[in-house]
Structure formats: C-alpha cells, structure tokens
Chain A
C-alpha cells in the first residue's frame, strides 16, 4: 500500500455515499476513496478522460465498488469496460447494489465481479460488508 493507492466508489445516491463513507470511516478503511457519482464519471476516472483528463491511467485503483442502477452508464457497463481493458482487467470489483434480482447477480458474476452485496438495511451489516471488502485487500 502506498499513499497513492485509491479505491473508486461509484454511487449515484448521495445518502448511500454518505452512509457508506461513514461505514468506511468507522472501520478505519486504509485507502483514499474517490467517489464517482455515476458510471460516466467512473469511466472518465478509470480511463483518464473528461473531468479526469491527464490522470495517469496506468495507476489503476486497487478496488472498485460499483452500484448497478445508475443514470447514463450503469454499473454493469462500467464492469464490462474494466474487464476489457488491459490495465483494469484484474482490478477487484465489488458490486454493492439495491437489486437482489437473480439475473443481476448472475450477469455481474459473468462479467467478472469479485463480490456481490445487497445494500443492507442496517449500519452494522454495512460495516460487516466493509470489513469483508477490506479483507480482500490485505
């Protein structure tokens, strides 16, 4: 881990961003977290274009937390783009979504998601999820 290592958190709902950030903080998550408010912004960050033009895309995030339903570009599209890119191919992807539809789960798995979580209704469960995600990185 270096000070440059970042985690990309892609989430369009501000409440979910707020709550998840609180959970990350509560669990003393040891990475800098960059928040993208939708799939488009996530792609711009990942590929160093648009708002993130000039960013060294060779420095991939260590992990991407993806919501599925988002305006413009959804989480599955971001995941697909990641898995087709040689720099991002092996970046850990965690799906954190409202949907517990079987087909979303299956599609995410097929596209190469490493973990799939349904957003929990309690803060304790969210913290447990954060702990699991952190476990992937150590």
Chain B
C-alpha cells in the first residue's frame, strides 16, 4: 500500500490490549484517511448515549496519505473525539512533526478507548507499542513531561503529544500539546485523554513511506510548491504568519475588542501588537513544521518589561485573543501567555472567550469581587489577569466556573450573560468580527465542531477569474470574493467545508492550500501518484462531502438541528460599531445564507437535518436508516 503506512493501531485501555490491523482499502476510497477516517470511526464506535467522559468514548489520531511525504505542508494530523466542552463531534488538528513520526513508525491511525486503571502513557517505537506507567509524571507541565519522556526513553528525537496539568485537574478545554509548542488545541481533546487516565503518546518511527510513482509525485509536488511560493499570500504568511492577517483584520473592522462589544483597536494601542512590532522587537527567527515552505511560526524572545526573558514559539492571531478581547496591548504579555497555555495545556481560544465573558459580566455588574475570589476583572488590569489565570490553571475558586468553558460559565453567571457568550454549539469563537464578514458568520454557524472558522475557512486569496470559473462555474467572481455580498455564500461555505475536509483527510495544512495559493485540482494527481489509487478532483470532493455528512449525522443523531446552526445573539441583534458594515448585524442575512447552504448541501431547510436522498447518494444508507429509526432524518 503506497502513501499510507498500512496499519491501524487499536488500544483498549480497560484491558490494556493493543491490536494492529491493516488499514482498510474500502474505507480509504470513501474517507481518504486522517480526520475523514476519524469521522467514520467516531460515528461507528461512539453512539449517542456515550458521554465525553465515558470510558467508551474514543480518541482517534489520524494522519493521512500525503502526511509525512515530500508534499509541501504535510505535517498535519488530527484527533477526533466526542468533545467534553460541547458533547458533540469534534476533531482538532496540529502541525509540527508528530503526525509524520507516527506514519514513520508504521501507523495511519490510532484508535484509543477505555479508561486505564493506572496513569499511563503510550510508547510507540516502530513495531513496539506499550503502555508505560505514568504515576511519576502526574501534575508535570507539558514542557517538563516532554523532557522527562525523552530522558526516560533515551531518545531526544521522540515526538510527543501530551496532556497538561489543567486537564488532569478538571478544566474541560485542556489541549493536547505537541512537542511543547504546537497543539491540538480546540474543544478539549487533551481533557478526553486525561479522563482516560492517559497522559499522552510518545512516538519514534524509522520507516519510510512508500510512494507509488515517485518521479510523477515529485513533479506534482514541485508544481504545488511553485504555486505556494508565488502566491500573493506567501510573502505575508512566510514572514509574519497569521499575525500579519491580524493587521488586515484590524484595518477592515474584523478585530473585535472587549468581548466583541466593539470592532477595531484604537491605533495608538494597536501599534503595540501589530506584526511589525513583533518582527522588530520580539521575533528571533522563522520556524517551520514538517516539510513546510511557508514557515509561518516564529521563535521569539521578550527582551524587556514584566515578562523579560520569556522565550518560545508561535504567537499567532489566536494569541491576540487575550489582548484584544481583554484589553491588553503588550506583546511581552501575549508571548508569555502563549507559553503558559502550552505549558499547562490550555486551549487559548476557549480560555480567552471564557475570560472575556467574565470580564463583560463584571463590567455589567452581573458578578462582583464576591464571585471572583476578590479579583476585580477590569479590562487591561494585568495584576488581576495573572490571578484569575492562575485560578483556572489550578481549577479552584472562580476558576472552577471558568474552567468549564464559555457556555457553561455563562449559564452559571446567568442574568442574560448567555447573550454575550461568544460560542456556537458550546464552543468559543475564534478572533474575528463576523458582522463585518457575513459568510464567515455562516461558517461559524454550520461548523460541526462549534464556533470555529477552520472547518470552512471560506477565503479566496488573490483574484483569479479563470480559477474561480473552473471551481465555481458561472457564479460571478466578484460575488464569490466579496466579503459583503450575501448571495452565493451558502453554496460557497458548503464547498469550502467539503474542500477542507479533504485537506484534513490528506494530512495537509490549510494555510498552504488555500484557494488562490494553489489550484485545488492539483491535489488529485499528487494523491494518485502517491497512492496508486485513481483520484480525480470530483471524487476527492465527493469524499469531502461524505465526511461532512458523517460529521453532520453524528451531531444530528445527538439531537442537533437548524436551531443550533446559529451565532451569538449580539451578532444577530446588535449593530457592529465600525467597519464596512457599520451599523448592521446578521439577524436577517444569516437565515438567508443558511437556506442557501442547506439547499447546496441537499439537507432540509426547515430542520437543517440530512435527507435520505443525499446520504444514499454518498453511499451512507446505513446512516440514513439509523437516523430514520431514531427520528433524526429529514421527513421530506
């Protein structure tokens, strides 16, 4: 089998049983691999009566057929599970080099279920796979753990995916930290491992990956590499990463402040957190993930101020959440808390949203210092922030409320706090003002893992009408690329969800493969040359659509309907304070876009549920039958 490592690892922690199976060809042809196969296995093995903290929940690590190859940006892998934050489908994805190492050890997927009777970690050393005792590692932060495991196992080249102490203490949004500086951050996948008494996975692989037609594959990858390096997005991302995108957001009214009460940071403050300031005063060098020409990460060093001496990697757009949402405009502080979140295994996004909710609740008098352990939650008060962050890290006092995530914290606070809890389906939204980019609002509303922009990432870089015509037919190019146009965006978001499901299944990074960086149709020959399985672009996109439908079916089976495909009330009812849509909200346009989205998806507009016709057209009759039996299939 080419492209693939050829084996799936199944680990039952209840029985401490480890089984190796061949990667099934029939499933590859339907789901490709990575997060695609992850969605299939999660639907199959985690029925609706299972809760995230049940031993029966699964954690599914998936690589993908192009992961670990010479394909550019091929370091990504996914973790699929039932989220403890949302209790719905989730997958979370990381770069770095853990995914490739797993493939070099010989495994396409790792399926983990059960709950160990003792604290353990999984040690994968090529063919040798074992559960090692981890009692002596409890409570260590992920940086200590990474170094201890490398010492204990006697190999500094080991790659690690580790759970931090916050997940062990009970914070629901514990992340899985990859080699210290990368994370599967979203939706609490680290907490699921902790609930299984599993501290992480260490892997060392020494095998290669077989390629079906190496010469043709190399030529296909060269073409894609050339496209990436000549794209209009490359100069910005290769120097600044997503910090450069923050400058674009700031200028176009899409950078929210103070829990999204306003859009746009005052210039005299923004200059402190703009990308140019980072490059001049903090950046030491660029850092790349496995085989990535974009190198969008950076090594930083804080030279002066309160956090002088801090060194680490990868402040990015999401790292600005605690800055703009809470009123801190100090890159030293941003770099410090980037490190703190990585050390303790905290999802920056959920943490930022939850704190922002609490700060606004404090501003509005819904909570006082009596509720917050005496800590005044004042915008921009660094002393208070340090104290409340520590409460979350220790999961104590008011930190026990904040550690449950933005939705649960809003329910606890009450008094209408739900109105300004920035979450969708229970998960906090990433840092963008969606009222100034309505179809991004739609992408948040429909994302299968909750308030997240990366499931669809409905963005086209540059302006290339022939490419747009090739992908989207007769839809006018101006309509497709406009941030403000509503018409056609439902269809566009559905298309992008399918496309990025393909990338997550292949094991590639979304940054380098945005439409406009490359021509998406160039993926199909590369995959065919790598695997020897004939994929054309239409077939790839059908796989993406199938994966999206399985994720949808998983959530539908849990009872989610159209009412869950929405955005926070502030975005639906309150006008945005600045930007190209100043004075407008999404109240009327979101339902219009949703109607068009469901139509493009072949789902029922009224309920948002999948239809038998669509599911059967994708070969998902068994899923249609089950949804029908349980009352979760559209009636029409």
Partners in one complex: no
